[in-house]
Amino acid sequence: MAKTPSPQELWNIDHKPPKKWWMDLPLNIRPGNFSYPAKPQILKELDMPNPRPWSPLDEDWKLPPNWKEIVLEGIRERLDKFRTFKVFMDICVRCGACADKCHFFIGSGDPRNMPVLRAELLRSIYRGEFTKAGKLLGRFGGARELTVDVIKEWFHYFYQCTECRRCSVFCPYGIDTAEITMLGREILNLLGLNINWIMEPVRNCFKIGNHLGIQPHSLKDMVDFFIDDIEEVTGVRIEVPFMKKGAEVLFVTPSGDYFADPGTYTFMGYLMLFHEIGLDYTMSYYAAEGGNFGLFSSNENMKRLNAKIYAEAKRLGVKWILGGECGHMWRVINQFMDTMNGPADFLEVPKSPITGTVFENARSTKMVHITEFTSDLIKHGKLNLDPSRNDHLKVTFHDSCNPVRAMGLLEEPRYVIKNVCNNFYEMPEDTIREKTFCCGSGSGLNNDEFMEMRMRGGLPRANAVQYVHDKHDVNTLACICAIDRAALTTLMNYWVPDVTVYGVHELVANALVMKGEKKRTTDLRQMPIPGMEDAEDV
Amino acid sequence: MGESQGLSALLQKKRADIITRWAGILVDSYPSGAHEFLSNKKNRFANPVGYTIAKEIAAMVDGLINRQDIDSFSSSLDKIMRIRTVQDFKPSEALAFVYQLKGVIRECLDESLSDAEVRAGLEELDAFTDALGLLAFDIYVGCKEQLYQLRVDEVKRNTYMLVKRAKMLVEGPEGDQGSRNLV
Amino acid sequence: MDRAALPFVAVIALVITPLIGVGAISLHYLFGVIVPYVAALIFFAGFIMKVVNWGTSPVPFRIPTTCGQQKSLPWFKHSKLENPVTGIQVIGRMFLEVVFFRSLFRNLKPEIRGGPRIVYGPTKWLWFFALMFHWCFFIIFFRHLRLFTEPVPGVVTFVDRIDSMFQICIPPIYLTDLGLLLGITCLFLRRVIVPQVRYLSLPSDYFPLFLIIGIAVTGMLMRYVIRVDIIKVKELALSLAAFSPKVPQGIGVIFYTHLFLVCVLAMYFPFSKLMHLGGVFMSPTRNLANNNRIVRHINPWNPKVKLHPYEEWEDEFRDKLLDAGIPVEKKG
C-alpha cells in the first residue's frame, strides 16, 4: 500500500515549472491562450492556401505534405523582399533591453513572450537553414532544426503578439517585433495557419465592405437608429450622407464604431460634429471599413482591403479623405496606404472648408485624422463647447499603440480632450505616449476565446489606470481606437470596474452646443448628466 | 482568529522571512526565465505582477500577525487571485500558494515548534489557512465566472446595433436603457 | 552557465594557439603576416558582402518607429529628433542613436521612492557600460593608427595624449584601457548575473565577450607588464600596411597572442551579431523619416492583388441597394 504523504509533503507540492531553456520548454496550448483557427470556407473565398477544419488542441494540424519546403521558400522569398527581415534576423545582440517591455511577458511571465525570444523563435530557424555559421554550429550557434513543433510554437507565439511596437522603442537597433510577427504570420498563412477572428473580418471586409459583413441596406437602417438617438438626446434631426457624389470629403471610420458599444457613441459624436459645422461629406457602403485586418495576415491582404478607400474616393469624386478614431487603421493609412494604393493624384491636398487650414502633413496621402481636423476647428474657435457637461467625468487618456508608435499622434487628442473636459489627468509617464501599454487585444486578438490572455496582456495598462483611479478618482478612460473601445471596456470591467471607456468624439459631442438643440439632460448614452437632470427643455 | 499571543509575537519576529518565502513560492510558480523580473517589486508600472505579489503578501502576513478577521484578507487575496485566474495555471496550481503558507510558517518557526503553546497556535493557524484557501477558491471561481460573463457581454456589445436592428430588443426608453447598461 | 562554458574554452584555446605556434614552433611569418592578411581580407570582404546583401533587399514600406509628436499643425510642437520628417532630422536621430545609444537610454526606469526624489534603477547600467565599452573600443582602435602611420597624424597623437593625461604610472595608463575592461566586464557580469538576460543568452553572445576580454588583457599586459619592443611592432605594422611584409626578430610572443585574437575577432565579425555595427545604420525603423503622408514611398515589388472593385460589389448588391433607395451607377 502506498504510504500516506505527511502533511508537510502535501503542503510543499512542487508547483515550480521545470527550469528549462526556452528551446526545451514544452508548448502549453490550453483554452484561453489561443484563438480559434479560420473556417475553411472563409479561406476558400479569399483564395488562401490549405483550407481545412483543424484545432490547435489536435496533435495533427493537417499541414500540407511539403510544408517544410513551403516554409523555407516563404522565408527565402521574404528575405529578398524585406530588408527589415534580413537586418532584424542578423543584428540582434540579445542585450535584453526589450525583454521586460512586452505586456504579455509582464502579465504572464512566459519567457517566450519576451520580444527577443519571440524573434528568436524565427531567428533560430533562419540561422539553422540560411546561414553557414548556424549550419556549422547547430544549437551551439543558436540554431535549430525546422520541425512541426517549431511551426506550432510559431503559431502560438506569433498570435500572442499584438504588434504594438513597444519593444521597438527600446531596442538600440530599432528591431521591430511587430514586423517579425507580421512576417511570421505571412509564412504561417502559407500553411493555412491563421485565426478566424482575423480572416473572417478580412473576408467580410473584402466581399461586403465591413468587418461584420453587414449588408448595405442593413447598415442604412442602423444609421437611421443613430439619427433617432441623436434627436432624442439633442432635439436636432441630422442627415447622414452616404454614396453622395461630388461631396468634398469622404469619411471613413472603423465599422466597430457603428456596430459595437461603446464605439457607437463615438460614431454619433462624429455625425453631430459634421452636422454642426456643415461639412460637405459622404460615407460609403462599399468602403465602409476603416479597420484593416489584412494588416494582421499579410501585406497582400492589407492591400486588397485598403484599395477600396482610394477607389471609392475616386468614384465619388471627393477632394480628400477624413479618417475616424482607429488605431491599426492609422498604421495602415500613415505607413502603407499611399505606397500600396497611391498615388492619390485625383485628390487635392486636404484643406479644412471651415477654417481654411491646409493639412500639409497629409499632402501626398490626402487623408486627415479626425483629431487633427477637430483640434484645428477648436483652435480657430469654430465650435461652441460647454465642457462643464463633462464635469462628472474625470478623464485619463490611453495612447493607442499605432497612432503613437507608427505616426506620433500625441498632442492632437489631448488638445481635443482638454477643450471638452475640465478634469484631465495623465497616467504615469512610463505608461503613456511612446511608452504606452497595449490594451492586450490588438492585431486581431480581440476575440472572446482569447479572454484570459487578453486580461493578462492588458494588466499593465489596467494597472496604470488603477493608479490614477486611486489617486485622482479617474472614472473615464478616453481613447482613439475602435479595438480599444471594445477591449478596454472588458479590461476595465475585470480590473478597474469603476472606470468607463469613451471615444474622444463622444466627449466632444457631449460638450458640443448645437444650433437649435434642446437643453441637454442626458449624455449620448442617454444617462442623466449630473446637475442637469431636472433642467427643462428650452 | 484566536491563536495565542505567543505565536503572534513569533510571527512578528519572523515577519520578513515569512513574507520572502511566501512571495518566493508565488514567484517560483512562474517559468524560470521570469523569476528575476517578477522578484523586482520596485516599479509597480513596469512590473504589476511582482508588485502585487510583494504588496499583498506582506499585507496578508501582517493580517495574520495582527490576527485580523478573515474578511479583511479578501481584498489582498482578490488582487493576487484575479491575476492568477487569467494566467496559465490549473485551479490547483493557482490556489496552492495559500496552503503552502503552512509549510512556510513551519520552516520559519523551526526552532520553536517544540513549544506546546506554539503548536496549539499553529493548529488554529492551519484552520485559518484552510479558511483562506476556501476564500481564495471562491474568488477564483468568481473571477472565472466573470470572465465568461465578460465574453458574453462583449459578444453582445460587438453586435449591439445588429441585435437592435433585428428588433430583438424591446424598444422604448426602458428596454433601451437596460441593454445599453451592458457597458 | 553551460552556454558560457564552451565559448570560454574556445577562447582559451585561441590564446594557446599562438603561444605554441610562435613560442614553441616559431611560426612568426604565419602569425605575423599570413593570418593578419587573411583576417583583414575576410573582415573587409565579409563586411562588405553582408552590407551589400542587406542592401539588395528593398525597403518596401516606410515604417519608422515614432517616439514623439508628429509634425502636423503648427501649434503642436513637433518632436524633430524622435519623429523626424526631413533628412537632416533623420541624421539627428541616427546621430543620437549611434553616438549616444538613445533608445537604450530610454530603458532607464525612473522610480519615485518616498517623496519627490527620482531614483534610477539598475537598468541604467546597460546603457552606461555599453556606451563606455563602445566608446573606449573605438578610441583604442583609433589610437592604434599610430602604429600604421608615419608620420603619425596630429589628431591621433592628440587623442593619445588626452587618453593618457593622467600620468598614473609609467608608462601612463590609458583611460580607455580601463574603461574598455570595466565596460566589457560589466556587460559580461550582467549577462551572467541577471537571470533574465542569462536565460536568453546564446553561446555566440559569450564568445565575443571573452574574445574581447582576451584582446584587452593581452594588450594591457604588453603595455604595462610584459613589455614588447614597440619600435619593432610598428616596423611590422608599417610593412603590413605597405604590403611588403617583414617580420622583425624579437617581438615577444604576447604580441602575437594579442594580434591573433584580434585576427580571430575580425574573421568572426562579418558572420556574427557583431554586424550590428553595420546594421544600426540600416534599420528601417530608425533611418527613415516619418513623412509617409507627405512624400509617397515606393515599393519596388508592389504586388498585383485580386481586388473586389466597386462595379462587382454593386452587381452583387444592386437589388438591395435599389430597394433601400441607395444610389447606384447602373440601374440593372
Share of chain C above pLDDT 70, in %: 93
- Name the residue among A167, A227, A255, A192 with its Cα closest to residue A52: A192
pLDDT one-digit tens code per residue, A76-90: 999 999 999 999 999
* CA A38/CA A55 separation, integer angstroms: 10
* CA B6/CA B43 separation, integer angstroms: 36
A310: three-class secondary structure by DSSP: helix
Q: Give the model's confidence band at C168: pLDDT under 50 very low, under 70 low, under 90 confident, else very high.
A: low
The helix (H) or strand (E) run that includes residue B84 is helix B74-85
| Chain B residues bordering chain C (beta-carbon distance below 8 Å) | 32-37, 42-43, 46
**Chain B residues near residue A464 by CB distance under 8 angstroms:** 45
Q: Is the pLDDT of residue B177 over 80?
A: no
* CA A109/CA B98 separation, integer angstroms: 20
Name the DSSP class of A48: -
Chain A touching partners, 3 or more CB pairs below 8 A = B, C
- Name the residue among C172, C207, C169, C166 with its Cα closest to residue C188: C207
Q: Is the pLDDT of residue A347 over 70?
A: yes
A406: contact with B, CB 8 A cutoff: no
Q: Are A503 and A480 in contact (CB under 8 A)?
A: yes
* CA C37/CA B158 separation, integer angstroms: 68
* A-chain residue closest to C290, CA distance: A407
* B-chain residue closest to A221, CA distance: B165
A76: contact with C, CB 8 A cutoff: no
Q: Give the model's confidence band at B121: pLDDT under 50 very low, under 70 low, under 90 confident, else very high.
A: confident
Give pLDDT, residue A2. Answer: 53
Q: Give the model's confidence band at B7: pLDDT under 50 very low, under 70 low, under 90 confident, else very high.
A: confident
The domain that holds C294 is classified in CATH as: 1.20.950.20
Strand order in the sheet with A367-369: A281-282, A249-252, A320-323, A367-369
Share of chain A above pLDDT 90, in %: 84
B183/A183: higher pLDDT: A183
Give pLDDT, residue A3. Answer: 60
Q: Is the pLDDT of residue C307 over 90?
A: yes
* Chain-chain contact of B36 with C195 (C-beta, under 8 angstroms): yes
Q: Is the pLDDT of residue C112 over 60?
A: no
* Chain-chain contact of B37 with C196 (C-beta, under 8 angstroms): yes
Give pLDDT, residue B42. Answer: 66
Q: Is the pLDDT of residue B41 over 80?
A: no
pLDDT one-digit tens code per residue, A266-306: 999 999 999 999 999 999 999 999 999 999 999 999 999 99
pLDDT one-digit tens code per residue, C258-285: 999 999 999 999 999 999 999 999 999 9
Chain B touching partners, 3 or more CB pairs below 8 A = A, C
Cα separation values, A413 from A375, A476, B37, C128, Å? 8, 15, 34, 36
**Chain A residues near residue C184 by CB distance under 8 angstroms:** none
Share of chain B above pLDDT 70, in %: 86
Give the number of C-alpha atoms closer than 13 A to the C-alpha of residue A452, restricted to the C-beta side. Answer: 21
pLDDT one-digit tens code per residue, A221-274: 889 999 999 999 999 999 999 999 999 999 999 998 988 889 999 999 999 999
Do residues C296 and C324 share a domain?
A: no
Give pLDDT, residue C115. Answer: 35
* B-chain residue closest to C112, CA distance: B43
Do residues C149 and C289 share a domain?
A: yes
Give pLDDT, residue A314. Answer: 96
Q: Is the pLDDT of residue A71 over 50?
A: yes
Please state, rounded to an integer, the average pLDDT across all residues of chain B.
83
Q: Is the pLDDT of residue C172 over 70?
A: yes
* Chain-chain contact of B43 with C200 (C-beta, under 8 angstroms): no
Give pLDDT, residue B156. Answer: 84
**Chain B residues near residue C196 by CB distance under 8 angstroms:** 33-34, 36-37
Task: Return phi, psi of residue A369, to 5°.
Answer: -80, 140
Give pLDDT, residue C110. Answer: 46
Q: Give the model's confidence band at B111: pLDDT under 50 very low, under 70 low, under 90 confident, else very high.
A: confident
Do residues A33 and A136 share a domain?
A: yes
C324: contact with B, CB 8 A cutoff: no
Q: Give the Cβ contact number of residue C84 at 10 Å.
A: 26
Task: Tell me the sheet residues that pair with A283.
Answer: A242
Q: Count residue pairs from A and C with Cβ separation < 8 A.
A: 284
Give pLDDT, residue A334. Answer: 96
Share of chain B above pLDDT 90, in %: 43
Give pLDDT, residue A6. Answer: 62
Q: Give the model's confidence band at B1: pLDDT under 50 very low, under 70 low, under 90 confident, else very high.
A: very low
Instruction: List the grid coordinates of B182.
Output: 451592458
Q: Is the pLDDT of residue B89 over 50?
A: yes
**Chain B residues near residue A456 by CB distance under 8 angstroms:** 83, 86-87
**Chain C residues near residue B37 by CB distance under 8 angstroms:** 196
Q: Give the model's confidence band at C206: pLDDT under 50 very low, under 70 low, under 90 confident, else very high.
A: very high
* Chain-chain contact of C195 with B43 (C-beta, under 8 angstroms): no
Mean pLDDT of C32-47: 96
The residue written with cell numbers 532584424 in the block is: A88
- Name the residue among A191, A193, A171 with its Cα closest to residue A88: A171
A364/A25: higher pLDDT: A364
pLDDT one-digit tens code per residue, A430-452: 899 999 999 999 999 999 999 99
How many Å from the N-terminal Cα to the C-terminal Cα in chain A?
87
Task: Tell me the sheet residues that pair with A512.
Answer: A385
Segment of A5-14, A149-158, C21-30, C123-132 carrying the highest mean pLDDT = A149-158
* CA C177/CA C137 separation, integer angstroms: 8
Q: Give the Cβ contact number of residue B103 at 10 Å.
A: 19
Do residues A290 and A173 share a domain?
A: no
Give pLDDT, residue C160. Answer: 86
Q: Are C120 and C109 in contact (CB under 8 A)?
A: yes
Give pLDDT, residue B167. Answer: 62
B174/A80: higher pLDDT: A80
Classify C171 in phi/psi space as left (phi over 0), alpha (psi -120 to 50) or beta: beta
CA distance B125 to chain A (A): 14
- Name the residue among C212, C300, C284, C219 with its Cα closest to residue C258: C219
* Chain-chain contact of A109 with B28 (C-beta, under 8 angstroms): no
CA distance C198 to chain B (A): 9
Total domains present in chain C? 2
Q: Is the pLDDT of residue B119 over 90?
A: no
A30: contact with B, CB 8 A cutoff: yes
Do residues C108 and C228 share a domain?
A: yes
ipTM exceeds 0.95, yes or no: no
For an interface test with A, which of C73, C101, C316 has the most A Cβ atoms less than 10 Å from its Cβ? C73
Q: Give the model's confidence band at A537: pLDDT under 50 very low, under 70 low, under 90 confident, else very high.
A: very low
Which of A330-334, B35-39, B47-51, B96-100 shows the lowest per-residue confidence on average (mean pLDDT)?
Answer: B35-39
- Report strand pairing: A281-282 vs C118-120: unpaired
Q: Three-state secondary structure along chain C? A: CHHHHHHHHHHHHHHHHHHHHHHHCCCHHHHHHHHHHHHHHHHHHHHHHHHHHHHHCCCCCCCCCCCCCCCCCCCCCCCCCCCCCCHHHHHHHHHHHHHHCHHHHCCCCEEECCCCCEEECCCHHHHHHHHHHHHHHHHHHHHCHHHHCCCCCHHHHHHHHHHCCCCCCCCCCCHHHHHHHHHHHHHHHHHHHCHHHHHHCCHHHHHHHHHHHHHHHHHHHHHHHCCCCHHHHHHHHHHHHCCCCCCCCCCCHHHHHHHHHHHHHHHHHHHCHHHHHHHHHHCCCCCCCCCCCCCCCCCCCCCCCCCCCHHHHHHHHHHHHHHCCCCCCCCC
Mean pLDDT of C85-95: 96
A83: contact with C, CB 8 A cutoff: yes
Q: Is the pLDDT of residue C202 over 70?
A: yes
C247: contact with B, CB 8 A cutoff: no
Q: What residues of chain A, 483 to 502, have a C-beta less than 8 Å from chain B?
A: 486, 489-490, 493-495, 500-501
**Chain C residues near residue A410 by CB distance under 8 angstroms:** 68-70
Of B33, B42, B46, the CB nearest to C196: B33
How many Å from the N-terminal Cα to the C-terminal Cα in chain C?
75
The domain that holds A49 is classified in CATH as: 1.10.1060
Total domains present in chain A? 2
Q: Which residues span the domain enclosing A426? A: 202-511
Question: How far does Cα C89 stand from its chain's mean position?
Answer: 22
* CA A426/CA A126 separation, integer angstroms: 43
C166/A338: higher pLDDT: A338
Query: DSSP strand E in A226-379: where?
Result: 249-252, 281-282, 320-323, 367-369
Q: Could you tell me the residue ranges of all domains in chain B?
A: 5-147
Mean pLDDT of A41-48: 94
Q: Give the model's confidence band at B83: pLDDT under 50 very low, under 70 low, under 90 confident, else very high.
A: very high
Q: Which residues span the domain enclosing C310? A: 306-332
Please state, rounded to an integer, the average pLDDT across all residues of chain C.
89
Residue A58 lies in a domain: yes
Do residues A152 and A218 share a domain?
A: no
Mean pLDDT of B115-140: 90
Q: Is the pLDDT of residue C193 over 50?
A: yes
For an interface test with B, which of A6, A8, A9, A11 has the most B Cβ atoms less than 10 Å from its Cβ? A11
Do residues A337 and A431 share a domain?
A: yes
Q: Count residue pairs from B and C with Cβ separation < 8 A.
A: 19
Give pLDDT, residue B2. Answer: 45
**Chain B residues near residue A28 by CB distance under 8 angstroms:** 88
C111: contact with B, CB 8 A cutoff: yes
**Chain A residues near residue C75 by CB distance under 8 angstroms:** 379
Question: DSSP secondary structure string, A197-243?
Answer: HHHHHHHHHHHTSSTT---HHHHHHHHHHHHHHHHHHHS------BS
- Name the residue among A452, A487, A355 with its Cα closest to residue B143: A452
Q: Are A27 and A128 in contact (CB under 8 A)?
A: no
Q: What residues of chain A, 214 to 253, have a C-beta less than 8 Å from chain C?
A: 215-217, 220, 242-245
Do residues A190 and A206 share a domain?
A: no
Of A428, A448, A489, the CB nearest to B45: A428
Q: Is the pLDDT of residue B113 over 90?
A: no
Q: Are C93 and C67 in contact (CB under 8 A)?
A: no
Please state, rounded to an integer, the average pLDDT across all residues of chain A.
92
Mean pLDDT of A43-59: 95
Give pLDDT, residue A132. Answer: 86
A294/C111: higher pLDDT: A294
C113: contact with B, CB 8 A cutoff: yes
Which of A38-42, B75-79, B104-108 shows the lowest per-residue confidence on average (mean pLDDT)?
Answer: B104-108
Of A212, A448, A464, the CB nearest to B151: A448
* CA C159/CA C138 separation, integer angstroms: 11
